[in-house]
Amino acid sequence: MRPDTPADHIAEAERLLRTASQFPEDHEPLLLQSAAHLELAGDRKGASALYDRLLASGPENPLLVKALQAANLWEYGHEAEARALIAGIRATAPLDPAPWEIIAETLESHDELDASHDCFNSALTLLLSSADDEIPYETQSLVIGRHRVRRMLGRAHDDWDVLADRIHSAQPSRSAVTLDELHDPNRLWALGSDNPAELRAEIARLRSELGSYRSALSRPFPVAVLHWPEPELTELLAAYPELESEYPTHAAHLTDIEASLRDLSSTGTGNLGIVTSTVPSYEAFAASEQSSPSNADLLPQYATILAARGRAATWPPARGAVCWCGSGRVYRDCHGGESF
């Protein structure tokens, strides 16, 4: 059952903090989730303290934490500090879409529409060459958010807006209502209308949006594939030779990962990720399941658990990022190449 009341969110935040103490290697995603529950409970001060704790610990994604802290601080009455954090993030120009989306939506929610529009533009210009590029799943929400802000600003449609329409119409739960309708500023007035026809139309739009939100909530973490670095795979097979049928060679393992993810992507599956495995972690998981690590059926379950704990790296990597395989080469020149 999902948390509903402030007390439920406080209890869930405390549970996540206890889990973080048990799994220190996963403290960052667990503390982020805990902070989110504190925000939902209205404990902005407590959430801010957790974000500060994360920043002091040297997080893997400090710009994401700073973006979340900025959004929280603005709601907490610390606008000047929030603006300073946002300016710093924009100056850094991250290649991760998440900080961009958070700060753009923060500006939007406080009626800073021109600044929000500039953020969305900067992000898409940095992350994508053109509207003809293949749009990674995690970047699509930037295109959609930009469309929403432009509707509120009364801007004419451009190529990015056309792309947003195309992304939206490709989602079955959203196709009944166009993106222009969903982002129509006049919808706010329709909710106060005395006209039954207008109210029915607005209810239909809201149901469409709710379907999208439910779909997102039903899969809060990526569909993940296990990646064993070569030293870890060598150790795994030496200890559990029964798994050699799963991993004949390390090169074949890497090839299978890329092929599997491309197959999933081609069938319309989004939000894909890769989780890097270690033998001690896998053995601990097998013990928790009261099973042997040689049991191949545990492997997909292990991948799901790691993804649920926030350990998944997004696939495909951002433009210009290094390949997921650990070679150090740019993804497009490694496993992301057309000849692969």
* pTM for the model: 0.62
pLDDT at 187: 62
Quote the tokens at residue 256.
């299978």
**Residue 264 main-chain phi, psi, to 5 deg:** -60, -40
Q: pLDDT tens-digit profile of 115-155?
A: 999 999 999 999 887 655 567 878 888 999 999 999 888 89
> In the prediction, which pLDDT does 102 show?
94
Q: What parts of the chain have a pLDDT lower than 70?
A: 1-4, 130-134, 171-177, 186-194, 198-199, 201-222, 309, 338-340
- Per residue in 202-261, pLDDT (tens digit) is 666 666 555 544 444 444 456 889 999 999 999 999 999 999 999 999 999 999 999 999
Q: Which residue reads 């390390």 in tokens? A: 250
Domain boundaries, the chain: 6-182, 183-218, 223-333
Task: Please answer whether residues 66 and 99 qualify as being in contact, where contact means their C-beta atoms are separated by less than 8 angstroms.
Answer: yes
Superfamily of segment(s) 6-182: Tetratricopeptide repeat domain (1.25.40.10)
